[in-house]
Amino acid sequence: MIDLKTPDEVAKMRQTGRLVHRVIHETGKHIAAGITTAELEDIAVSIISEAGGSSPCLGYAPYGHPPYPAWTCISVNEEIVHAIPGPRIIKEGDLVTIDCCAELNGWLADSAFTFPVGKVSTQAAKLLKITEECLYKGIAQAKPGNRTGDIGYSVQKHAETAGFSVVRELNGHGVGRKMHEGELHVPNFGYRGKGTVLKEGMTFAIEPMINIGREHIRTRADGWTIVTRDGSLSAHFEHTVAITRDGAEILTNGE
């Protein structure tokens, strides 16, 4: 089932989206060489808590996974997603992704942004640019009558034209009252005209995960952290959107 939201429900998700945007970008201001990912997590927790929100990530335990032990996912370099904040020290030239899903008054929003630490390599800078562009190319296809394959096709084409690869085992998802809501899946690859038809009132996350190297992944022993199998850099950008009659409204851009 796919839950269609009313305008009032979308407005409540937009409030949560503003909080998620603030968490990511205020925490992002503290990213610098020498700080640990655990310290960044503490900053994010403070912002969410002071706003009266909570984290659906904490304790989340789908089948086959241990309970997730943090409020955010903070991934560095070869870590694609779901890296648990801890003692890892950020270094000059790193890429750091802050992925935050928060709940406020019963409604959720999910977003991610990859930050460069100081001066990064030319290839890393290109990866950031292309991955963020992939996100907005996907969002441009999120309108009534289109399909999830139109989103995936636009993301895949832009990434692969630039010489990068698309992670295929992970995809966008429905968001609303739950972090992974309903049966909607939004892959970052695909074919035009294929997949689920998009309808007004749908709310979901679009989240390209793009690698400099091959698309293959593996999961570390902690049961959560997903990394590139070849150790290459990865970037991740994500927004929660609502489908309106005019197209996609971004709920996590701070507006």
Measured CA to CA, the distance from residue 156 to residue 146 in angstroms comes to 16
For 99-128, write each residue's pLDDT tens digit. Answer: 999 999 999 999 999 999 999 999 999 999
Please report which confidence band the pLDDT of residue 89 belongs to, taking 50, 70 and 90 as the band edges: very high
Q: pLDDT tens-digit profile of 7-40?
A: 999 999 999 999 999 999 999 999 999 999 999 9
What is the average pLDDT across 230-240?
Answer: 98
CB 225: neighbour CB atoms within 10 A?
Answer: 20
Tens of pLDDT along 42-69? 999 999 999 999 999 999 999 889 999 9
pLDDT at position 64 is 85
Confidence of residue 1 (pLDDT cuts 50, 70, 90): confident
CA distance 51 to 153: 38
What percentage of the chain has pLDDT greater than the value 90? 97
Residue 78 has pLDDT above 90, yes or no: yes
Q: What's the pLDDT score for residue 144?
A: 97
**Residue 238: strand, helix, or coil:** strand
41 backbone dihedrals φ, ψ, rounded to 5°: -60, -45
Q: Which domains does the chain have, with CATH numbers?
A: 7-250 (3.90.230.10)
Supply the mean pLDDT for the chain: 97
- Could you tell me the two tokens for 18? 């503003």
0.85 exceeded by pTM: yes
Residue whose structure tokens are 């997590």: 41
